Amino acid sequence: MHIIPIDPIKTNRKDLKLTQEQLANKINNLIASNLTKVEISKWESGIHKPCNDYIFAMAKIFDKNPIQFYGKVQEYHNAWKSIRRQVYEENNKQ
């Protein structure tokens, strides 16, 4: 059994009652990017990790310490990476 990590992006987004699309728009306004809700979804599900620019933009939106928020996003991503590796190893045991 794997313990599912707590997602700091989704948790903070929901605390502010933002949709994924609204968060993407707020980030786009801060750093002039073309982010979509699809990419937010990939971050929240642990499929992709946001680049530093996006992490620090979210820290500003969520009013969080950027370094601490960066650490939480890194922990979340690393936990999912570890789970995927363990599942792969379990499924490929001989």
Answer yes or no: is 84 within a domain.
Answer: yes
Answer yes or no: is 69 within a domain.
Answer: yes
Mean of pLDDT values over 33-43: 96
**Cβ–Cβ < 8 Å for 64, 86:** no
Q: What is the pLDDT of residue 2?
A: 61
Query: Domain with 20 in it: what CATH number?
Result: 1.10.260
When divided into structural domains, the chain yields a total of: 1
Does the pLDDT of residue 74 top 70, yes or no? yes
**Cβ–Cβ < 8 Å for 9, 40:** yes
Q: What is the pLDDT of residue 63?
A: 97
Give CA torsion, residues 77, 35, 63, 12, to 10 deg: -50
Answer yes or no: is 62 within a domain.
Answer: yes
Mean of pLDDT values over 76-87: 87
Residue 30 belongs to what domain range? 15-91
Q: What is the pLDDT of residue 81?
A: 86
Task: With cut-offs at 50, 70 and 90, classify the pLDDT of residue 94.
Answer: low
DSSP state at residue 73: H
**Positive or negative torsion for Cα 77, 52, 37, 58:** positive
